[in-house]
Amino acid sequence: MHLEQLDYWFPLLTNNSPFLFAILDGQHNYCHVNERYCDISGKPQHELLGSNDIDTLGSYYYQCLKPYYDRAFKGEVIEAEIIINDTSQHTSLHISLAPLTNNDGNISHIILHSVDTSERHILINSLQESEHQLNQLQNLMTDGICVVEKNIIMNANLRAIELLGVTSKNALLGQALSNVLLNNKKQPCHSTQLEHITHSDNQHYYAAHGENNSPLLLATTPITMMGEAALLIKLTAATRSDDQQHKIEQLMQLDPLTGLYNRYGFSRQLDLLMKANTPLFMLYIDIDNFKNINDSLGHHIGDKVLQEIAQRLQQLLPKNALIGHLSGDEFAVLVAYPEHENSGEVIAEQIIALVNQPFDLRYFSKHLACSIGMVKSPGNGHDARMMLQNADTAMYEAKNRGRNRLVVFSDAMSKEARMRLWLEIELQKALQNNGLEVWYQPKVNAKNFEIDGAEALVRWKHPVEGYISPAQFIPVAERSGLIEQLGRVVMREVFTTVNQWKKQQLLKGRVAINLSSQQFENPKLISFVDQLRQLTGINAADFTFELTESTVMSDGEHTIQMLNAIKKQGFALSIDDFGTGYSSLSYLARFPLDELKIDRAFIKDIDTIPKQITLIENIINLGKSLNMSVVAEGIETRQQATLLSNLNCDYIQGFHFHRPMPKQELEELLLKEKIYLTG
């Protein structure tokens, strides 16, 4: 294939691949790279062209691959597994290299395909380690363990061999269970007879070949082996010391990843302290946006972060503190007999600062944040379950208030949590049953006050409670993970409706659709919008996506990539509630924005704070100097509308002209206006 043809085919074949693809020239510089290089480096493709591995992945990485590049330029086709083992990382790569010839038959470039196999090797090693640890644990247990499939013993630990009176493991494996186990009537036992046996049954069994004929207690659990039903059988001598039971109980309470208490163990310790009426406080810690690390870098990197968080907590906290790893990204801290009334608040702030310190993640460092909920005993619960539930409620309140902070539980939160749960359940039903409506608030041209576009707004009419305010259900949708589904429903409805209005020439101007921060943070948004655009046949120029300042400022590089991808499809971009978020204006020049929307907070104070007029005028002039249109919202009087018109604002939106309305009402309004203007 000629290199000219590669300009066309290379991005089509490689951009959606999770692996690295590149074409290198004789100096080992990039002529082509796929999107995966952009994901790793955080740079757009055009900035990577002409650079090399040293700029993108580091000098050590390049030195490891350079000998293979040289061999490929000598005409060799290479497939190899290499290890990049610098001071901080251990990375396994599978690389493929092939030379590319020009019209003269000379090798001018090489093509590289690289796959990071680190996680696969780690998983294989982890499986081997886990299997070894499991075998070691089984052999350390004082109970016998057997795995039985179709009444045949497939595996057993050393204690099971001893209890069943067999000479060796080889002599036991492959034996029918009925050959080695007898019931209390000394009759052979088949595995199908044991499927629901627990220790509480107090039924004694006996080894068919046991010399001392000691009774055994059984407990069974159904499992699956290679897709086939099997049975895990625990054999216990009828007598057991309290010390042995204690050791097993300890193992059950620990988290194998971090060595901290697991949820069960932490709850047990909390329950014991509360039963003793011990004064204490508990912190429930959630690592904000931790899912992004697992999704983008892999679970093995996420596990390392969790282990480092556990180590940091152990180094920070007092010796009497109990620490638990409750689930994926959730930790808990319990301190009994606190020294001061505000000890919990002080330690929580120290933990937030601790988590905010950077973590080394492969080729770059990452700053994390955490949300913390705090409860105290006595006062915030009568048992461990309620304490954990209330602490979890306070933690989610911390997320609602902006994350990376502490919130102390109050009784009012419990009532609010029950209301949010009810709203979440009902909202889920509404999404399943098409129970949401899209309303529209028209925008008018500031020169002639004619309708020129609109903003799409979601409304929810509950079958019993009637219309529920978006201020109530939108935060619930964001917290419960329903906001993306809700956003897709709204977008599909708006695309379909507006496309019909445009074909009928009813509506001029663009229709704005609000994007939540969760929608915007999901890279899959781009492919969804593109597929929906093609499916509905819309003209992207008829639509504007509105984002808040806080959304676009949350992650600079990700924001630029997402905004450019949306613009590439032909949509306009608007900053909603401008002036109420970040004080820095540098993003206006960096980001490809088309519109500023002046927040209603500036408009409502025009009559009482004259200096607001100066602010509004400067915002309008700033927008126009950057080739952006300016929209003012919250216009409630004719005086406000006239003032903004005189200040050369482009569009006006507010109750003075039109309130939000169902699409049928807007359609009727548009028809009347069309007849009036054409008649």
pLDDT in tens, 123-153: 676 666 656 666 666 666 778 888 899 889 8
The winner for highest mean pLDDT among 45-59, 552-566, 580-594 is 45-59
Q: Give the CATH number for residue 146.
A: 3.30.450.20
Q: For residue 249, what pLDDT band results from cuts at 50, 70 and 90?
A: low
Residues 6+ apart with CB under 8 A from 256: none
Is 623 within the bounds of a domain? yes
Cα 543 to chain center, whole Å? 28
pLDDT score recorded for residue 642:
92
Is 38 within the bounds of a domain? yes
Is the distance from CB of 601 to CB of 581 less than 8 angstroms?
Answer: no
Q: For residue 556, what pLDDT band results from cuts at 50, 70 and 90?
A: low
Give yes or no: residues 17 and 72 share one domain. Answer: yes
The winner for highest mean pLDDT among 165-169, 295-299, 536-540 is 536-540
Query: Residue 220: beta bridge partners?
Result: 233
Q: For residue 85, what pLDDT band results from cuts at 50, 70 and 90?
A: confident
Task: Say how many C-beta atoms besides its own lie within 10 A of residue 104's C-beta.
Answer: 6
Q: For residue 29, what pLDDT band results from cuts at 50, 70 and 90?
A: very high
**pLDDT above 70 for 242:** no
- Give the closest residue to 95 by CA, choosing from 74, 116, 109: 116
Give yes or no: residues 253 and 336 share one domain. Answer: yes
Is 136 within the bounds of a domain? no
Is 565 within the bounds of a domain? yes
Mean of pLDDT over the chain: 85
Give yes or no: residues 469 and 565 share one domain. Answer: yes
pLDDT score recorded for residue 647:
92
Q: For residue 491, what pLDDT band results from cuts at 50, 70 and 90?
A: very high
Give yes or no: residues 469 and 545 share one domain. Answer: yes
Give yes or no: residues 199 and 284 share one domain. Answer: no
Q: Which residue has the higher pLDDT, 333 or 586?
A: 333
Give yes or no: residues 381 and 261 share one domain. Answer: yes
Give yes or no: residues 610 and 542 share one domain. Answer: yes
Is 126 within the bounds of a domain? no
pLDDT score recorded for residue 46:
85
Average pLDDT over residues 485-496: 94
Lowest mean pLDDT among 20-29, 321-330, 405-414: 405-414
The winner for highest mean pLDDT among 187-191, 245-249, 489-493 is 489-493
Q: How many CA atoms lie within 13 A of 404 on its CB side?
A: 10
Q: For residue 2, what pLDDT band results from cuts at 50, 70 and 90?
A: low
Measured in degrees and rounded to the nearest 5, phi and psi for residue 218 equal: -120, 150
Is 169 within the bounds of a domain? yes
Give yes or no: residues 577 and 448 share one domain. Answer: yes
Q: Give the CATH number for residue 342.
A: 3.30.70.270
User: Which of 68, 87, 121 delimits the end of a domain?
Assistant: 121
Average pLDDT over residues 554-562: 74
In the numeric block, the tokens 């949300």 are attached to 371
Distance of alpha carbon 541 from alpha carbon 3, whole angstroms: 35
Q: For residue 35, what pLDDT band results from cuts at 50, 70 and 90?
A: confident
pLDDT score recorded for residue 108:
87
**pLDDT above 80 for 648:** yes
What residue type is assigned to position 640 of the chain?
Q
Average pLDDT over residues 10-16: 82
User: Which of 348, 376, 409 delimits the end of a domain?
Assistant: 409
Distance of alpha carbon 382 from alpha carbon 385, whole angstroms: 9
Is 128 within the bounds of a domain? no
Lowest mean pLDDT among 32-46, 225-239, 241-255, 587-601: 241-255
Whole-prediction pTM? 0.49
Q: Give the CATH number for residue 478.
A: 3.20.20.450
Q: For residue 248, what pLDDT band results from cuts at 50, 70 and 90?
A: low
Average pLDDT over residues 325-332: 91
pLDDT in tens, 432-468: 888 899 999 999 999 999 999 999 999 999 888 889 9
pLDDT score recorded for residue 198:
61
Distance of alpha carbon 311 from alpha carbon 295, whole angstroms: 23
Give yes or no: residues 346 and 472 share one domain. Answer: no
The maximal CA–CA distance of the chain, rounded, in angstroms, is 108
Query: Residue 547: beta bridge partners?
Result: 575
**pLDDT above 60 for 583:** no
**DSSP per residue over 157-184, as a string?**
-HHHHHHTT-S-HHHHTT-BHHHHEE-T
Measured in degrees and rounded to the nearest 5, phi and psi for residue 37 equal: -60, -35
Q: For residue 658, what pLDDT band results from cuts at 50, 70 and 90?
A: very high
Is 10 within the bounds of a domain? yes
pLDDT in tens, 507-517: 999 999 999 88
**pLDDT above 70 for 554:** no
Residues 6+ apart with CB under 8 A from 503: none
User: What domain count does the chain have?
Assistant: 4
**pLDDT above 50 for 243:** no
**pLDDT above 90 for 595:** yes
Give yes or no: residues 103 and 151 share one domain. Answer: no
Give yes or no: residues 337 and 235 share one domain. Answer: no
| H-type alpha helices, 15-165 | 35-41, 45-48, 53-56, 59-73, 118-140, 158-163
Give yes or no: residues 568 and 512 share one domain. Answer: yes
What's the domain range around 482?
A: 430-678
Is the distance from CB of 551 to CB of 582 less than 8 angstroms?
Answer: no
